[in-house]
Amino acid sequence: MSMVIMGDTFTFPEGQAATNRVATYAKGLMEHGINVHVIVMMGVYKEVHTGVFDGISYYHSFEYKERSNSFFRRRWRIFKKYIKTWRLLRRLNKQEKIVAINCWSTLLGTHIFLWLMARLLGTKLVRECSEHPLREHQGGKMNRKIGLMKSYIESRFCDGILCISRYIIDLYKERGIKPEKLFHLPSTVDPSRFIKTGEKPVNFRYIGYFGSLTFYRDSVDVLIKAFARISALHPDIHLVLGGFFSSDEQRKKTLNLIEQLKIQPKVKILDYLTRQEVLKNIIHADVLVMARSKDLESLASYPSKLTEYLSTGIPVVSVKVGEIPEFLIDNVNAYLVEPGDDEGMAGKLDFILNNYALACEVGQKGKDLTSTVFNYNYQAKRLIGFINSLYKVQPQWRPLNSP
């Protein structure tokens, strides 16, 4: 038997946080003898549409290399995507029975389509919920009502929901979803990817941040201000910001802030990076920072980059939002600050740099969590147990490559 991870909120094998979470699911399940297929339904234009990455077979059902100028042709391509997806699912199911489909989508149409596919194939549909289900429906009463209705339909038309936080589980329980349908699957990471190897990408010591370069949700401005406070105290330390800007306006705001604080020579901004480039910059940092605002999304989610930071054993500074304090203890396995507190963050950074040996001991205790609660293999085993619980008669998972 096999499992399919699919949807239109991630790309593969390159991508952002969702891609990394998908990869850890797949690797963990495969290490427990379960075949995994990843199907990308996002409308991205690529030269290669199928392949194998780290032993994971992946397929892009939107098989086009460039955008058409014709409106009608673009609509036709979207329709064909769903036809190709069904044909692919049917073929994979014939090769090896699909025991579950893990759905990743914010589109109600895609969710209903996958629910129908699951019913036709006689399998279970397990919805992924790594973000607040109403995050895109906060403006205006009508928009919120639409979001509530959409969330209601999605939660009913599925067999199970994987929730990244207990906040989301409580949210669904309040709306009448049965507890046995909900499964807490926290942030997952493969720590073997974050062992320090190779050459350092730069010739200076640095504090690193890698993720979305925004002032709203990710509060990169707080980190920049904190760094400016300690820059003169630690002349050999630089700040490296790696990721992507949400807009040209956000890029301009970031550059203007760096210029106003007069720290341009000590700040290096890296635009969009491949997974390997991100990995290389993370593992060679001297300190890693997880900056984030205190908002609805942060309360419900758990940042995947934080678990990746922890897996390095490097000292980590993180804001104290959502479920983070349930796993991390200040000065024990990480250094925690309140959201928006650039002065407090500067104090933590200054302490770490002045007491680096002690800070590395704290970092190692943070790394211990990636061998247990955040470990991809451990959580994959729990996921298998949850999928089994959705069947009256438990499926017989056949090990990979068995006759």
Q: pLDDT-based confidence at 212, cuts 50/70/90?
A: confident
Average pLDDT, the chain: 92
Domains and CATH numbers, the chain: 2-188+375-389 (3.40.50.2000), 191-371 (3.40.50.2000)
Tell me if residue 208 falls in helix, strand or coil. strand
The pLDDT-based confidence of 276 (bands split at 50, 70, 90) is confident
> Is residue 14 scored above 50 in pLDDT?
yes
- What's the mean pLDDT in 187-214? 92
Q: How far apart are CA 56 and CA 73, in angstroms?
A: 32
pTM above 0.85, yes or no: yes
- The count of other CB atoms within 10 Å of the CB of residue 83 is 10
The string of pLDDT tens digits covering residues 228-241 is 999 999 999 999 99
Q: Is the pLDDT of residue 400 over 90?
A: no
251-275 in b/e form (b: 16+ CB < 10 A) is eebbeebbeeeebeebbbebeebeb
Q: For residue 396, what pLDDT band results from cuts at 50, 70 and 90? A: low
392: Cβ contacts below 8 Å, ≥ 6 apart: none
Query: Which residue's structure tokens are 């029975």?
Result: 97
| Range with lowest mean pLDDT among 126-135, 352-361, 366-375 | 126-135
- Show Cβ contacts of residue 283 under 8 Å, excluding neighbours closer than 6 positions: 194, 195, 196, 197, 312, 314
Q: What is the mean pLDDT of residues 294-309?
A: 86
* Class of residue 39 by CB neighbours under 10 A (exposed 0-12, middle 13-18, buried 19+): buried
Q: Give the H or E element holding residue 38.
A: strand 35-40
Determine which helix (DSSP H) or strand (DSSP E) holds 147, and give its type and residue range: helix 141-156
Q: What dihedral do alpha carbons 161, 167, 171, 177 form, nearest 10°?
A: 40
What are 136-158's pLDDT values in tens digits? 777 788 888 888 899 999 999 99
Burial label for 194, CB within 10 Å (0-12, 13-18, 19+), is buried
Neighbour tally for 47: CB within 10 Å: 6
Please write the tens of the pLDDT for every residue from 50-68.
999 989 999 999 988 888 8
Between CA 356 and CA 236 the distance in angstroms is 14
Q: Give the C-alpha separation, 168 to 221, whole Å.
A: 28
Residue 45: band (very low, low, confident or very high) from pLDDT cuts 50, 70, 90 = confident
